[in-house]
């Protein structure tokens, strides 16, 4: 089905890059909301975000202030002139948000994964023209993401945007949620009209990662950033490690390199960024390989097998050299790399045999 969309927010704002939507993970108090909004407005942010109904992975965490936060958002609108946005996860949230005049709604990653919930939201929005931003589902399933957008589209909405917030994975990793960039790129290919925002806060999970992620999003031509900002991040009741002060956000935005989107020739900057991305994938794979190697160490220990099994090592090395050759990689390079990898695996398994924890981590995950 073809999806033709209108501008998700004011067309004049959309021509800027990046369009910045910023605000705290959660609205916590009237003072925190208004102070953050005021400072963000002063640095030029025109759209404010704050969660008031918070989906938490486990019960017992801060689950948001609920409906009373809507009046704080109304105050933000009145006092700063910013547009305000919040997350909705069910019919009641939609009705309350619309009644309070919230300008933009977003559907969170734990909701876009659930077609029943998205349909309920779409039904509640029928007959309105409120902009809705759909976060990618927690798992990397583009059809589910498109399906959520289609449900809103079928309800008559045309101001629909998307937010790439990364995808959860079981592996230990650099990012809180893996930025699988090819998925939003494919989304844009399938729905060319769609505006895509990047949420570097939920991808990174840590403040230090927000700047490089925001730059990558700009390099991939995304329209905007959806980013968490709090006047006192370290005191935040949710997602404290990934929130930025408005000042820090201003600095990050000021340093973004926004390149000419019509440029067709790849330049060195592009290629170096690609190398950075590849290196971080290689590092993650190294970590995964070592973890599995450690698990083999536990198995060998339990079955009283020796760490070193020369025939297996010889087989692995020959096979990798052969495969490398087919990929135009030199024998010398592959044997050096795999000798070092093997050496590290042996070191790790020996420490398992001696009962030491693997790099201070528990062995059996």
3-state secondary structure of 133: strand
Report the C-alpha gap between 217 and 207 in whole angstroms.
16
- What is the closest distance, in whole angstroms, from the C-beta atom of residue 8 to ligand PEP in the complex? 17
The site partner of 52 among ligand PEP, Mn ion, none (C-beta below 5 to 8 Å per kind) is: none
x/- track of binding to Mn ion for residues 24-53 (CB under 5 A):
-x----------------------------
- Under 8 Å between Cβ of 85 and 98: no
Choosing from 70, 76, 109, 125, the residue that interacts with ligand PEP (CB under 6 A) is 109
- Tell me the residue nearest to ligand PEP as measured from the CB: 108
Strands 195-198, 83-87: pairing kind: unpaired
Report the C-alpha gap between 82 and 104 in whole angstroms.
11
Choosing from 19, 21, 22, 25, the residue that interacts with ligand PEP (CB under 6 A) is 25
- What is the closest distance, in whole angstroms, from the C-beta atom of residue 8 to Mn ion in the complex? 21
Task: Looking at the chain, list the stretches that DSSP marks H as alpha helix, in order from N- to C-terminal side.
Answer: 11-14, 30-42, 68-80, 91-99, 109-112, 115-125, 142-154, 182-190, 200-204, 210-219, 246-255, 268-302, 310-326, 331-353
Q: Does 217 bind ligand PEP (CB under 6 A)?
A: no
x/- track of binding to ligand PEP for residues 184-213 (CB under 6 A):
------------------x-----------
Residue 202 vs 320, nearer CB to Mn ion: 202
> HSE (CB half, 13 Å, CA atoms) of 250?
13
x/- track of binding to ligand PEP for residues 132-151 (CB under 6 A):
---x----------------
Report the C-alpha gap between 255 and 173 in whole angstroms.
26
Binding site residues, ligand PEP, CB under 6 A = 25, 51, 55, 108-110, 135, 165, 202
């Amino acid at each position: 089905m073809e999806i033709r969309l209108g501008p998700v927010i004011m067309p004049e704002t959309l021509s800027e890059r990046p369009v910045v939507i910023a605000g705290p993970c959660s609205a916590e108090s009237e003072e925190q909301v208004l102070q953050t909004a005021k400072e963000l407005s002063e640095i030029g942010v025109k759209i404010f975000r704050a969660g008031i109904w918070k989906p938490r992975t486990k019960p017992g965490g801060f689950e948001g202030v609920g409906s009373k936060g809507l009046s704080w958002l109304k105050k933000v609108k009145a006092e700063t002139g910013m547009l305000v946005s919040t997350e909705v996860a069910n019919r009641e949230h939609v009705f309350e948000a619309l009644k309070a005049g919230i300008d933009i709604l977003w559907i969170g990653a734990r909701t876009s994964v659930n077609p029943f919930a998205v349909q309920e939201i779409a039904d509640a929005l029928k007959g309105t023209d409120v902009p809705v931003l759909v976060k990618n589902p927690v798992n990397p399933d583009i059809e589910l993401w498109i399906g959520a957008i289609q449900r809103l589209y079928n309800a008559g909405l045309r101001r629909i945007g998307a937010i790439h917030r990364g995808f959860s994975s079981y592996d230990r990793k650099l990012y809180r949620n893996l930025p699988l960039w090819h998925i939003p790129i494919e989304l844009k290919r399938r729905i060319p009209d769609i505006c895509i925002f990047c949420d570097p806060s939920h991808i990174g999970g840590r403040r230090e990662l927000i700047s490089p992620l925001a730059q990558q999003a700009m390099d991939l031509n995304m329209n905007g950033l959806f980013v968490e900002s709090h006047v006192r991040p370290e005191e935040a009741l949710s997602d404290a490690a990934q929130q930025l002060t408005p000042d820090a956000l201003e600095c990050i935005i000021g340093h973004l390199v926004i390149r000419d989107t019509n440029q067709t020739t790849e330049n060195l900057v592009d290629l170096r960024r690609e190398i950075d991305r590849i290196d971080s994938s290689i590092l993650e794979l190294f970590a995964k390989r070592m973890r599995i190697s450690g698990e083999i160490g536990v198995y060998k220990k339990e079955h009283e097998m020796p760490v070193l099994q020369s025939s297996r090592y010889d087989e692995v090395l020959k096979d990798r050299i052969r495969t490398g050759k087919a990929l135009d990689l030199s024998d010398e390079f592959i044997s050096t790399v795999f000798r070092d990898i093997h050496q590290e695996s042996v070191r790790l398994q020996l420490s398992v045999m001696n009962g030491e924890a693997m790099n201070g981590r528990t062995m059996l995950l």
